[in-house]
Structure 1
Amino acid sequence: MHQFVARVAFAAFVAFASMPATSSVADAASMQHAAVIDVQYRPVRGCWPVEAVQKARWAGLRNARVTHMTPKRVAVSGRGYRGWEQMWFANVRGCPLIRR
């Protein structure tokens, strides 16, 4: 009985160890191809006006809208706690805040 259990365990081990070896090549090719399909191209750009307005609203401006846009900065105006306020964002990727 001991030899039977040992042979069954050995056969199961061999079967289990051989399964990943046979499918890994096919899986690697499909994963590489899937990764190429899922990659989205995002070009380098400046600050989108929508992104600047969202950041201004998150910072507390109500009725925020873009009032002035130059190649270097984007101005967003809206209502703050003390009345009308204006925020300036750099016209680069990510819209960092310059001045409030």
Structure 2
Amino acid sequence: MRNIFTKAGIAALVTLAGLSAVAPTASAANGDLVISVQHRDRHWRPDRRPDRRPGCAPWLAEEKAARMGLRRVRVVDVSRRTVTVVGFDRRGRDRVVFANVRGCPLIRR
């Protein structure tokens, strides 16, 4: 009988020690629910929504060509493999061809 009381006492001490270790951790967290939204796309504009298709979006090809120095850019051809953009630079009319994959990598200028 004494053995049972000893084991029960040790179990109670272990339980109390475990509760005392958990209590400060639980009280450190507040009960507020916080929902945060992170905006990742730096070049998003309200008039041009992000395109979810796997290929090169025509608006993204236009923006990349404009950043490369072309003015009055417009997409003239979209095929299965390429997106062609024309515009004007310092020397006159110019053409830029992008691959029709995600990220619109440059093929030729």
Q: What TM-score do the two structures reach when normalised by structure 2?
A: 0.57
Selected match of 1:47 from 50, 53, 56: 56
- Amino acid of the structure 2 residue aligned with 1:21: A
1:45 shift after superposition: 1.1
**Number of aligned residues:** 76
What RMSD, in angstroms, separates the aligned Cα atoms of the two structures? 2.8
d(CA) in 2 for partners of 1:56, 1:81: 14
- Amino acid of the structure 1 residue aligned with 2:27: T
Alignment of 1:26-41 (within 5 A): 34=35
Alignment of 1:79-98 (within 5 A): 79-98=88-107
Identity of aligned residues (%): 41
Selected match of 1:22 from 10, 19, 27: 27
Unaligned runs of 5+ in 2: 1-22, 39-50
Partner residue in 2 for 1:67: 76
Give the 3 Å change call, closer, same or farther, for CA 25–43 of structure 1 in structure 2: farther
CA shift digits 1:39-70 (9 cap, x unpaired): 9xx84511000000000000000000001110
- Amino acid of the structure 2 residue aligned with 1:83: G
Give the 3 Å change call, closer, same or farther, for CA 64–43 of structure 1 in structure 2: closer
Greater share of helix: 1
Unaligned runs of 5+ in 1: 1-16
d(CA) in 2 for partners of 1:79, 1:73: 20
> Of the two, which has the highest radius of gyration?
2
Structure 1 residue ranges (4+ consecutive) displaced by more than 3 angstroms after TM superposition: 22-27
Give the 3 Å change call, closer, same or farther, for CA 26–95 of structure 1 in structure 2: same
